[in-house]
Amino acid sequence: MAQYDLRLVVYEGDEFLDVLPQPAKISAAFPMNDTPALQFSYSGVDDIRGAELLNRLINEQLDVALEINWGNGWIEPRGGRFIVTNEEDDTADPARMYNFTGVGVVYDLEGVTFITNDLVNSEGRIPFNNATPGQILDTYHNHGVDNGMLTLLTNDFGASRTSAQDQVEPWNGTITWAIERSASYRQVLDALVSYGMINWTTEGNKLRVFNDSADGHPSEWGGMQRDLTNDDDPVELILGRECVDAPQRIDRRNLASDALVLSDNNSAFLRSNNNTFLRRGRRVVTVNQGGIANQGAASVLGDKLLKSAESNREELTRTLDFSKARWLPFQHYRPGDWVFGPSKSRQKIERLRVAQITLQQDQRGNVTGSVVLHDRLLERSVALQKQLTAVSGGATVGTGGSGSKPAPKGRKPARPGGSTARPTVTGAAYTDKSGTPRAVITIVWPPVNSGVDGQAIDIDHYEVRLRKRKD
């Protein structure tokens, strides 16, 4: 039997406090491009070791991390850090079960909205012209940090680079977008997912964002579209070995042949998809999207919606058997990866994407779980419509073709420290061994993370120039 254990660890900010006692049960869900969720329960919490720490979770806003051990030590997987939001119990229950609920740290983004007028135009929107996803998201992140909204959550991407670790991976697309001021950082993140531009996850208290491509081309260097089917030893989730059962759902309620994009000044643009089979006639869905000025801009939103509505939505849920499994979640595959798995036919496996991993542990320490392959049909079919209408600023998306389009050049960085600050200059004179007078000068200035337009920017290097003073 493969070793696979779960435990819960408490953090105060980024400081480790302690390991929680074994709960009566643990349940954690790790969906792709969505908020992870955690539930755990204790019976008779006042009588167990660690009760004092549990009582502090809500009152002191402590965080909990889920850690996994498959025989090589404890690790915190992507999406494994949670903000504890709820505690429930029933005083009439003889067992006095205490239930805790947590959400992934990406929850912080829901509270980040522009509260200053620095970047807001006369129409009440924040305009981005030919901007990368990183430029937009980092602008929101910097605003949150500068205004005390993000004291723990960090990021490791920038205006010109994704979160790739081993080498710089440039963004493979740009977008022109006027975002409503009321939109939150999280809404913007979700919209970029729905536009097919990004994948995202978290590691500890760090937000990580990568390129996305709708055709499943893998994003390298630590991305979220690893293709694990092309190796000599591909990941294969086999029915009867990794998978116990194979419930599945097929839904055709999302099918549509036409999208009507409605915008400002009563403008309307119709997009059609002749590849959709509908026996009962054409079916039109409507998208309300402000800021659309022409057919080209409308085609971006309408065509992406129609692509998702071209065929039946499939949700293939496979219960996992950890006692026989050769391939284990997070050890060998994680949300976003492409693997081989049981298809709709019992006799066939096919290339499928891991959409969600769920893990459970009971009081005896037995771990079970499930994996959702290919599509989370209910959430995504509903969420796509919400995302397309939640942020009412119009968007025009451009792609880089080869996947290596760099960020637009020519933007001017802001002055270090603002318009009035000056670098700090200190100097000292000395005489070297040969008797020649020398001097050393130290110049210090605050780092620059925005351009003159106030939007996020990556600085490649600084140059210091000297000129002789005229007396």
pLDDT of residue 185: 96
Strand spans (E) along 263-414: 268-272, 284-288, 313-320, 338-342, 349-362, 367-373, 395-399
Of the spans 183-192, 310-319, 345-354, which averages the highest pLDDT? 183-192
pLDDT tens profile 197-249: 889 999 999 999 998 754 444 444 567 888 888 778 899 988 778 777 666 66
pLDDT of residue 207: 97
Of the listed ranges 206-215, 305-314, 316-325, 461-470, the least confidently predicted one is 305-314
Across-strand partners of 86?
101
How far, CA to CA in Å, does 206 sit from each of 4, 12, 236, 375? 25, 15, 31, 26
Instruction: Judge whether residue 453 has pLDDT over 50.
Output: yes
Please give the structure tokens belonging to residue 193.
């997912």
**Distance (Å, whole) CA 458 – CA 434:** 43
Mean pLDDT of 111-119: 93
Closest CA to 221 of 163, 164, 168, 171: 164
Instruction: Judge whether residue 388 has pLDDT over 70.
Output: no
3-state DSSP call for residue 419? coil
- Confidence class for position 65, pLDDT limits 50, 70, 90: very high
Select the more confidently predicted residue: 400 or 182.
182
Please give the structure tokens belonging to residue 66.
């889920």
Phi then psi dihedrals of residue 272, to 5 deg: -125, 150
Q: How many CA atoms lie within 13 A of 361 on its CB side?
A: 23
Among all chains, which residue has been given the structure tokens 């001097």? 439
Cβ–Cβ < 8 Å for 84, 64:
yes
**Distance (Å, whole) CA 438 – CA 100:** 66
pLDDT of residue 85: 93
Residue 162, amino acid: T
pLDDT of residue 46: 56
The mean pLDDT of the chain is 79
Select the more confidently predicted residue: 46 or 298.
298
Across-strand partners of 98?
42, 89
The pTM is what?
0.77
Of the listed ranges 139-153, 158-172, 229-243, 275-289, the least confidently predicted one is 275-289
Please give the structure tokens belonging to residue 18.
């302690």
Of the listed ranges 226-235, 281-290, 452-461, the least confidently predicted one is 281-290
3-state DSSP call for residue 144? helix
Select the more confidently predicted residue: 279 or 162.
162
Instruction: Judge whether residue 390 has pLDDT over 60.
Output: no
Of the spans 68-77, 262-271, 405-414, which averages the highest pLDDT? 68-77
**Distance (Å, whole) CA 17 – CA 52:** 12
DSSP 279: T
pLDDT tens profile 121-148: 988 889 988 899 999 999 999 999 999 9
Instruction: Judge whether residue 295 has pLDDT over 60.
Output: yes
Q: How many CA atoms lie within 13 A of 81 on its CB side?
A: 22
**Distance (Å, whole) CA 345 – CA 419:** 66
**Distance (Å, whole) CA 318 – CA 425:** 64
**Distance (Å, whole) CA 4 – CA 71:** 7
- Count the Cβ atoms, other than its own, within 10 Å of residue 320: 23
**Distance (Å, whole) CA 267 – CA 263:** 5
Instruction: Judge whether residue 190 has pLDDT over 50.
Output: yes
- Confidence class for position 294, pLDDT limits 50, 70, 90: low
pLDDT of residue 378: 39
pLDDT of residue 112: 95
Instruction: Spell 361-400 as b/e; 16+ CB within 10 A means b.
Output: beeeeebbbbbbbbbbbeebbebbbebbebbbbbbbbeee
CATH of domain 5-104: 2.40.10
